[in-house]
Structure 1
Amino acid sequence: MSSITTDQVGSFDGTAMAVHRVAGVAADARPVLMLHGLFSSAEVNWIKYGHAALLAQNGFAPIMPDWRVHGASEAPRDPAAYPVDVLVRDTLHLVEQLNLEDFDLVGFSLGARTATSAVIAGLKPRRLILSGMGIEGLTNWKKRSAFFVDMIDRFDTIERGDPAFMAKSFMKSTGIDREAARLLLTRGVGDIDVAQLQRIAMPTLLLIGEDDRDNGSPWSLAEALPDARVEEVPGNHMSSVVQKDLGQAILRFLSA
């Protein structure tokens, strides 16, 4: 397994964000910023199942932040720490702080949603991968987040068989602070104007588990983007990230 280094980077408001890298990559390796999903972490989405190592072995330098509230980053409980589109602001600040100019961008689920908003806001990666995302996942945040807010509010009473049991179990396994997560869900994420998707002009891969429609149709999203195609890998929204196929698909697209 590749060795991982971790630095703490202060975001726009001083919140400490953990940024993970694969140790020992060549100085001329191509940066690829990788954004993980909700209640997950860089470790779970990119490191544990070998995706980051595969990229590092093939000329890329994965840069993998943990969102605020997630992983080894801070989880403030002050509502002021969650302005609308806070994760987009975290992303833009991180790119500036790390002096990233010529880089690729990969996001899974909430990370894909955030990557979309960041590009609309002006970020210009060479290539973009949105994984675990369909067009409905960009436009119905209140409905999608309501499921998770309800899960947090009922956390201690949810039992096996409840539709929220899997989400509760995953959240428990990753040690997410429930109070901070509720603030992020209810305050920190904004909707995306579909008309603005035309601003995403770079080649884009919509990478989706063959049984994953949690965030709607990736094909409808591809139709709304200027230069996008869909590729399926095995698995559903939870299991696709554990498949080697995911990392291999990322590598193929970024290497083309």
Structure 2
Amino acid sequence: MSGPVTEQFESFDGTRLAVHRHGKGRPLVLLHGLFSSAAMNWIKWGHHEAIAAQGFEVLMLDFRVHGESEAPHEPERYPTNVLVRDVAALVDHYGLDEYDLGGFSLGARTSLHATAHGVLEPKNLVIGGMGTAGLGEWHRRAAKFRRVIDEFDTIPRGDPDFFSMQFLKSQGVDRVAARLLLDTMPDLDLVLLDAITMPTLVVCGDEDRDNGSAEELADLLPNADYVEVPGTHMSSVTKPDLGRAIARWLGGQT
């Protein structure tokens, strides 16, 4: 099988977004983590190939401000939950009817917001690297990244946020656009998880506590399976176990 094909489309506000398509079969919309990209989360480590081998077409979006998508500087391009609206625009653009949805970290919380609020209704849902704190207490995690952006050039080696600063630098993140994007992400009232009734996989690294308890999140979802894979929040996505776990679970859904 050849590598992913990259396409672009215009989202609801005209922002051009990149989508990397791979495989044939049932569509799976797959969303990456904060300040990462489809290439970094899914393609580099072969997760897209493991999933496609189960009979799926994987549509990997680069969120705005990430990867090969545009990073506009106009504040009006950043309404509340703009990423949910971008994913909905992708579903509309490709005319997806019956499809699955999944994501890691930011991609997971975006998927949960979209389904909890009834914006999207995938048949199956995959939630990676996300726990209850990453939903109900997102403002705390967002504050960390605001500090990284605002104090980018002065964070010293040894500071708890130094690694995050280095990661942003390595990904070439547009800090003006990133700062605007952070203010679009509200907390999610955990009561709304009751509305997410489709089969759901919650998969998380066995050393990953960055977003709180993933097992607790799985317990709160009406129809969820919980699977642990090796690794921390940063390392679990680099190991083949993550892609295999997603592929195995999706392959078992009817």
Coarse TM-score class (shorter-chain normalised)? over 0.9
Q: Distance in 2 between matches of 1:50 and 1:108?
A: 15
Kindly indicate whether residue 65 of structure 2 is the aligned counterpart of residue 79 of structure 1: no
Whether the 8 Å CA contact 1:104–1:126 is kept in 2: the answer is: yes
Deviation at 1:2, TM superposition (A): 4.1
Pick from 141, 151, 154 the counterpart of residue 151 of structure 2: 154
Q: Do structure 1's residue 56 and structure 2's residue 52 form an aligned pair?
A: yes
Match of 2:174 in 1: 177
1:9-47 Cα distance to aligned partner (Å, 9 max, x none)? 10000000001112xx34xx1111000000000000110
**C-alpha distance in structure 2 between counterparts of 1:12 and 1:214, whole Å:** 32
- Give the percent of matched residue pairs that are identical in Structure 1 and Structure 2: 54
* Maintained 8 Å contact 1:2/1:53: no
- Figure out how many residues of one structure are paired with residues of the other and give that number: 251
Offset, 1:191: 1.7
Question: What is the alpha-carbon distance in structure 2 between the residues aligned to residue 211 and residue 223 of structure 1?
Answer: 19
C-alpha RMSD over aligned residues: 1.1
Q: What is the correspondence of 1:127-206 to structure 2 with a 5 Å cutoff?
A: 127-186=124-183, 188-206=184-202
Q: Secondary structure at the match of 1:83?
A: coil
| Residue of structure 2 in register with 1:31 after alignment | 27
Counterpart code for 2:245: A
**Counterparts of 1:88-107 in structure 2 under 5 Å?**
88-107=84-103
Name the amino acid aligned to 1:152. I
TM-score (norm 2): 0.96
CA distance in 1, matches of 2:99, 2:10: 21
Give the Cα separation in 1 of the matches to 2:69 and 2:101. Answer: 20
CA distance in 1, matches of 2:100, 2:231: 24
Q: Determine if contact 1:135/1:220 at 8 Å carries over to the other structure.
A: yes
Q: Which of 99, 105, 108 lines up with 2:104 in the alignment?
A: 108
Q: Report deviation, 1:121.
A: 2.6
SS at match of 1:180: helix
Q: Letter of the aligned partner of 2:82 in structure 1?
A: V
Aligned AA (1:230): Y
Q: Equivalents in 2 of 1:89, 1:129: separation in Å?
A: 19
1:170-218, CA deviations, whole angstroms, 9 ceiling, x for partnerless residues?
A: 11111110010001112x1122121111110011111000100100011
| Paired residue secondary structure (2:202) | strand
Stretches of structure 1 lacking an aligned partner (at least 5 in a row)? none
